[in-house]
Amino acid sequence: MQHFVWDEDTTLIENALGIPEPDNGVQVLPGQIDVVFVPLLAFDSAGHRVGYGKGMYDGFLRKCKPDVLAIGLSMFQPLPERIADSWEGMCP
């Protein structure tokens, strides 16, 4: 993952998956980031989550400063039961 300042001069181009990405701009290192918006597939009221990125955001957040603010974004309400309990035994 690479991160760039996004302003009025930033040009976006579609990648191979059809996702707009910056084509130019000033790169920002993980240790310089104060807030990260994390997409969520599912989450519970205790903050446990299932995402879309196969651990990509977990690895990225470990590279950020310890006090980075991670904000989860979801189109759904929290699950009524704890996710860790729901998924237990389903993965090898």
- What's the pTM? 0.70
pLDDT along the chain (92 residues), means of 10: 87 92 90 92 83 80 94 88 62 41
Whether the CA torsion 21, 24, 25, 26 is positive or negative: it is positive
Identify the pLDDT of residue 90.
45
Identify the pLDDT of residue 34.
96
Identify the pLDDT of residue 61.
92
Q: Around Cβ 38, how many Cβ atoms within 10 Å?
A: 19
Contact (Cβ atoms closer than 8 angstroms) between residue 21 and residue 12: yes
